[in-house]
Amino acid sequence: MGKVLELDRVYKAYKFGFIPKKKQVLKGISFYVNEGEIFGYLGPNGAGKTTTIKSILNLIFPDAGRITIFGEDSLKPRAREKVGFLPENPYFYDYLTGREFLAFYADLLGIHGQQKEEKIKYFLNLVGMEKAADLQLRKYSRGMLQRVGLAQALLNDPALVILDEPMGGLDPIGRKEFRDIIVNLKKEGKTVFLSSHILQDIEMICDRVAIILAGEIVNQGYLGDLISEKVLYTEVIVAGLPASEFSHLGESVSASGNRVLLKVYEEQHIDRIIRLVQEKNGKIISLIPRTETLEDIFVGLVKNQ
């Protein structure tokens, strides 16, 4: 498995104000993306996610460090030939219709004639925008722009697709559809670089993640390696017995009707609860061990900062 994208100690500072004040945005970012994986780039707002992506795409120039795309220096336009990009909050020429918009990008990418028509039709269909294809982009909702933006990013059949907060403006159904499209891209053998601050999205579909906080990569690796399999606590729902019966065994979180939700931290207590319920003719409704989630890691890291 080759490396599709590699960043090596990338630094970037912005200067603000009349008397320029330096603000270090990227502080030596290093990570790589393997071929064929969905890579999640996770970080809170203002951590440097978009700056990283802009550095990759040559929209800004890093102060130091090296970025390679398919082994090619990112400074060369040729490096972007096999890259598709959907920016956060996509902004496009709003006087164009959806179809004209895709035709413009197809022309830029050197796709012409019959192939161009076919591709436009295929991608409009893929993102579910064929009905609005002849509407001007100014009349599109944010979700619709996001969809047509994704079509634009896929036009050149890219091997690496970079998506910056792709599910930001979408409704739940739209998010699911987007997730399905991204997973399908992976099935087609494409590599996906996905930046987001929405943990569930990343946890659901990403193979590997890197977490960026205040311009530094604080953790990266396979999702399975990052999240420990250790059981943090077990959630037990018991029916037919009052919460007071279990006060010494676990923390009672809530009680409704005759049901009690318990948070049990020690494993041997679970056996005792089961026995107690059996003895007193109660009923165990559910018993779910909770392992660490990406959210736990993320919140922990942010708090440490």
Partner 1 sequence: MKVSTIARNTFKEAKRDRVLYLLLFFAILCFLLSRFLGLLTVGDRVKIIKDVGLASISLFGMLMAILMGTGLVYKEIDKKTIFTLLAKPIHRWEFLLGKYLGLVLTIFIMTVLMSVIFLVVLFLHTFTIEWSLLIAILYIFFELCLMTAVALVFSTFSTPILASLYSLAFYLIGHLSWSLELLIKKIKSGGGRAILKVLYIILPDLENFNFKTEVVHQLPIPTKLLGLSFAYGLVYTAFLLLLAILIFRRRDFI
Going through 53-205 in order, the beta strands assigned E by DSSP cover 64-69, 72-73, 83-86, 160-164, 191-196
Q: Please name every residue paired with 210 in a beta bridge, in sequence order, or none if there are none.
A: 41, 220
Q: Does 92 bind partner 1 (CB under 8 A)?
A: yes
Q: Does 59 bind partner 1 (CB under 8 A)?
A: yes
| Residue 159 or 238 with smaller CB distance to partner 1 | 159
Q: Does 116 bind partner 1 (CB under 8 A)?
A: no
Site string for partner 1, 66-85 (x = CB under 8 A): -----------xxxxx-x-x
Q: Does 13 bind partner 1 (CB under 8 A)?
A: no
Q: Does 104 bind partner 1 (CB under 8 A)?
A: yes
Site string for partner 1, 118-157 (x = CB under 8 A): -------------------------------x--xx--x-
Report in angstroms how near the CB of residue 22 gets to partner 1 at its nearest: 14
Contacts 24+ apart (CB under 8 A), 178-185: 178/146, 178/150, 179/204, 179/205, 181/126, 181/127, 181/150, 182/38, 183/38, 185/154, 185/161
# binding residues, partner 1 (CB under 8 A): 33
Report in angstroms how near the CB of residue 90 gets to partner 1 at its nearest: 7
Q: Output the furthest CA–CA distance in the chain (Å, rounded).
A: 78
| Residue 57 or 297 with smaller CB distance to partner 1 | 57
Looking only at the bridges linking them, the beta strands covering 231-239 and 251-256 are unpaired
Going across the sheet that includes 21-34, the strands are 21-34, 3-16, 64-69, 72-73
For the chain, report the end-to-end CA distance as a whole number of angstroms: 34
| Residue 89 or 247 with smaller CB distance to partner 1 | 89
- Which residue stretch of 56-64, 117-125, 138-146, 256-264 sits at the interface with partner 1 (rule: CB under 8 A)? 56-64
- Which residue stretch of 54-62, 198-206, 218-226, 239-247 sits at the interface with partner 1 (rule: CB under 8 A)? 54-62
Q: Does 52 bind partner 1 (CB under 8 A)?
A: no
Q: Please name every residue paired with 290 in a beta bridge, in sequence order, or none if there are none.
A: 233
Q: Does 98 bind partner 1 (CB under 8 A)?
A: no
Q: Does 89 bind partner 1 (CB under 8 A)?
A: yes
Q: Which two tokens stand for residue 82?
A: 């096999």
H or E element in which residue 41 lies: strand 38-42
CB 203 within 8 A of CB 209: no
Q: Please name every residue paired with 39 in a beta bridge, in sequence order, or none if there are none.
A: 193, 208
- Which residue stretch of 108-116, 122-130, 215-223, 296-304 sits at the interface with partner 1 (rule: CB under 8 A)? 108-116
CB 44 within 8 A of CB 196: no
Question: Contact positions toward partner 1, by CB under 8 A?
Answer: 14, 54, 57-61, 77-81, 83, 85-87, 89-93, 95-96, 104-105, 107-110, 149, 152-153, 156
